[in-house]
Structure 1
Amino acid sequence: MTRGHVFVVHGDLTQLACDDVVVPTDARGEVSASWHRLVPPGRAPWGEGIWPVDTGSGSPQAASWYATTVHDVLDAVAADQQARPPRRGRSRHLTALPLVGAGRGAAGSRRGDVIAAVLEVLETHADEGHDVALVLRSGRDHAAAQHVRRGRTRHGLSPAEEATAEDLAARARVNELALFLGAGVSVSAGLPSWAMLLDELARRAAIPAAEAAELRTLPAQDAATLIERTLDEPLEDALAAVLSTHRHGLSHALLAALPMWEAATTNYDDLFERALGAVGRAPAVLPFEPARADRPYLLKLHGDLARRRNVVLTRDHYLRFQGAQGALAGVVQGLLMTRHVLFAGFSLADENFLHLADEVRRVREDDRVVGTALALVDEPLRRRMWDGELRYQAFAERPADRARTDEVVAGAARRMEIFLDLVAHHATDDASFLLDERYQHLLTPAERAFTGAVTQLRDVPPGSLAGRRVEALLHELGMRP
């Protein structure tokens, strides 16, 4: 087996789709209220895929003690995973855990030591072929963990992929990056890709296999029209049933960690909204809510299943969109004109998008590359169509044998997750841990000298312009009252 990977995620572990979750407990096996979403009070035994770990019951322990605890539970999880396939169509099992010991384990005063020790154990676990995600609710913990990883993390990507990831991260840091999400992103949550979605709807409509195969030869909008006519329920209800899930995917969480303010999607689900909300950045969802300066926005071009409104899927839907949704198209066109757009899991084949992109192409007089397209499976002809306008990054070749499509898509989705982990790693420039004594052991001698010098600025008289600026700087660097 090839090497696994360590993902560092800013988010809420109880909302992440994964195979197994490590949950901290006290000596009696009880969990704090923050874990009740996964472990409701009084449940016995715990659900499948949930692994309790005693974190010291409030007694302070050395960082190495927590590292050993993590090592032991991950070994047990890995042994159990050998007897079952990955969930949600993943190509490899994903185990997720929080910063063990930072809560009831009473290691909160030495968070930096625990982060460094646990990351070392996780990298060893990845060396043995396992994927594992360290999910950190605190932005400060996340920034510190990314600091530890610098120069050490291994992604197994090509030099070209690494260069693209670094470029996207640099654009994100200066607010030049916008997102456009397609169905490929939600594959990591177990939802179907665009082509698979129509197959699922055809099965729900009880369309015979021979007719379903013929539907695949039609344009997607026409196939959806015929499926809608065959369904014995509203199309929105059928979509909601096929796309039902309570947890967002790893890709959603990694994208939500990027410092961006503008996003659009053709997806019907609300998984990206959940991922943003988990890091305290719940977006304004356009066109249903007003945009606000203090939070990002997400434009839902093809409707929102949670609201059962504005769904665009059939031929009639597309025709109506072109006639009545010009304002929505204008938002996307503005992004293409003013930002570098990261297309994640989007095939660039949607008719509405092609129409609005063509209008932008007609008025542009510059020759800049307007975005980067991340495709799960390579489509050489489509890539050539966008040559010179988009940087195209595919994570797998299209299989000659259609029977291998699910396998190839799952592997490509995992590789895209690893790529996005690298983007999020380089895009993290949060320094809010530097002046926090709980992370001091992570700093280099030069960084300690810097923090010592900056701390002297506390003596600037408060209330003045200089004092307010200094206070803001110290807060940004993590000084606690």
Structure 2
Amino acid sequence: MRVERPAPTMLVEQPAPRAYRDPPTPTDRNMSRLAEGRSRPTWHHALVSAPDLNADVLAPFRDSGIDRHVTLLLGAGASTSSGLPGWDELAVRLLLKSGAVSSETAALELVQRQDPLLVAEAAKNTLDRWDHRVRAALYQGLQDLSPSSLHLAAAGHALAGRTGETTVATLNFDVLLEDAIDIEGTAEGRVDDEVSSTAYVVHHLHGIASPSRSRGVVLTLSDYNELLGDHDCWQQRLLSRAAQEGAIVIAGTSYRDPDVRRWLHVALADSPVGNAALVLLARQAFGVSRERFDEIKSALAGQWRAAGMQPILLEDFTDAAQIIRELRHLHRPRYRSPQQRATELWSLHAADFHVRQPEYSDALDDDARMLRDAFDVEHVGASLWLADGAGSVGRYASQDRTYRAACDIRLVPSGHDSAWVAGRTLGAESIVFQNLDPAGTNRWGTVLALPIRVSFAGLPDIATAVLSVGLPGTAEAFSMSKAMWFEQVLDIANAWSERLSDSLVRASSRNYDRQRTGRQR
């Protein structure tokens, strides 16, 4: 089953500005080359999304110690993807609850211009029932909560081995990592460096604050000062042991915490040659454009290298999740990077375009009939998009039209801030529901898009396709009747996952038969 249950996060979005929604398209000459399989157009940015992760991006991991032991350390980025607040937003909520400021604007100004730890200290001194207040601020406004791609990837890596084979640690208070592990195993959240022979332990370096309980929360200046004064704290012992045993892979953190900087500095000072600490830096975490990130990435990488860590520059948090999925496979014979696998799927469909595109259009027409009933509407527009392995996603087939040639496929950029719903869906690996601009020329009022994960024999799945559904009305209205259509949509998405995965199996079988026939001759 490719679309995971529990259900993926559903993002309801408002329309992007018109100018932002109309990016330039590749030239006809590049599109013709695409159809002929000679080359693909490039969007001229060095960073990549999950289907575009190439061998060069993954090379630093091969000799990092991952074959001996892996420690996964997740920061706030893993949980903000699930809808939880980042540090600044949490501090603002606590300030407002304390009554120290009267407006959100004033609270944000204070957080940005003062030491955030001191701000939290002031809020703690004003509020009673501190642990309860922290939990209330952390989970404020959330109706449900599901693990993000990073949580699921870290859990999957741990579950693929024995308990204790992977060290899993987090800087977050929530227990979403435990929830992800509990889907197929048994998790145990701890605020110490003890291990278990019967459960997969998640070490919370800054404590636990689940919706119902708190333990060992580190949030204020005095909390951090106490930790920094203890040179033999359990967190230091855990990370020092991790540096001795193998690779440390860090994702979703901006490295602002003074205690974490000290712990890793001490741990890495004595680490053996061949054991590396690698930090996955997603542009998404910095909230800047590709152009601005291009300006700062050299300086950013230099800062992390100066701290003794190997920076890996990425586009989205989901790229970091895909890298974690790849770690157990990098040393296998005939390993192929996500980019090679996505390109394989794209090239197969470009080469067989005249056969597959009409077939897929008919299948989408069948899907559209079921979706009309599920959504209780007269008309829908269903399309299948495929990633090309070069930073773009193209509308390969639609239920209400057929294309004459592969060069007619329109390619648009993929990534968390793509102007296109299909591009953002690949970048988020989540269901996206976006209302379209009613003043524009759009045929539909809203678009629902789902990521499609494709299986590659012996290697991790990749979200390398998207099913999009154009609908009349608004995303908010359909969200109210989710029980009517959600399972039907997931079933259709899973059917496309199986269809695309089977296309690779059949192509591999045909290639094998041709090679065997050639040898016999």
With normalisation by structure 2, the TM-score equals 0.47
Find the partner of 2:131 among 231, 236, 242: 236
- 1:184–1:194 contact (8 Å) kept in structure 2: no
Q: CA deviation at 1:308?
A: 0.9
Q: CA deviation at 1:226?
A: 1.4
Residue 255 (structure 1) aligned with residue 154 (structure 2): yes
- 1:264–1:332 contact (8 Å) kept in structure 2: no
Find the partner of 1:187 among 80, 87, 107: 80
Gaps of 5+ in 1: 1-7, 20-80, 93-153, 396-411, 434-438, 450-481
For these two proteins, the number of residue pairs brought into alignment is: 289
Cα RMSD of the aligned pairs, angstroms, is 4.1
Residue 332 (structure 1) aligned with residue 239 (structure 2): yes
- Measured in 1, the distance between the counterparts of 2:200 and 2:311 equals 26
- 2:72–2:169 contact (8 Å) kept in structure 1: yes
Find the partner of 1:227 among 110, 115, 123: 123
**Partner in structure 2 of residue 393 of structure 1:** 312
**AA at the equivalent of 1:384:** G
Q: CA deviation at 1:314?
A: 0.6
Q: 1:251 to 1:85 in 2, by over 3 A?
A: farther
Q: CA deviation at 1:192?
A: 1.8
1:13-412 → structure 2 map (5 Å cutoff): 13-14=6-7, 16-19=8-11, 84=14, 155=50, 157=52, 159=54, 163-165=56-58, 168=61, 174=67, 176-206=69-99, 207-208=101-102, 209-210=105-106, 212-231=108-127, 233-244=128-139, 245=142, 246-258=145-157, 259=160, 261-278=166-183, 280-287=184-191, 291-306=195-210, 307-323=213-229, 326-364=233-271, 366=273, 369-375=276-282, 376-377=285-286, 383-387=301-305, 389-395=308-314
Q: CA deviation at 1:440?
A: 9.6
Alignment deviations for residues 53-87 of structure 1 (CA, whole Å, 9 cap, x no partner):
xxxxxxxxxxxxxxxxxxxxxxxxxxxx78x579x
- Measured in 1, the distance between the counterparts of 2:270 and 2:319 equals 36
- SS of the aligned residue for 1:299 comes to strand
Q: CA deviation at 1:329?
A: 1.8
- Measured in 2, the distance between the counterparts of 1:214 and 1:432 equals 48
**Partner in structure 1 of residue 428 of structure 2:** none
- Measured in 2, the distance between the counterparts of 1:181 and 1:252 equals 8
**AA at the equivalent of 1:228:** K
- Measured in 2, the distance between the counterparts of 1:366 and 1:294 equals 32
- 2:88–2:111 contact (8 Å) kept in structure 1: no
Q: 1:201 to 1:359 in 2, by over 3 A?
A: same
**AA at the equivalent of 1:347:** S
Q: CA deviation at 1:366?
A: 3.9
- Measured in 2, the distance between the counterparts of 1:290 and 1:176 equals 17
Q: CA deviation at 1:196?
A: 2.7
**AA at the equivalent of 1:390:** M
Gaps of 5+ in 2: 22-48, 287-292, 333-456, 461-500, 514-521
Q: 1:360 to 1:155 in 2, by over 3 A?
A: closer
- Measured in 2, the distance between the counterparts of 1:302 and 1:194 equals 13
Fraction of identical pairs, as percent: 17
Q: CA deviation at 1:312?
A: 0.3
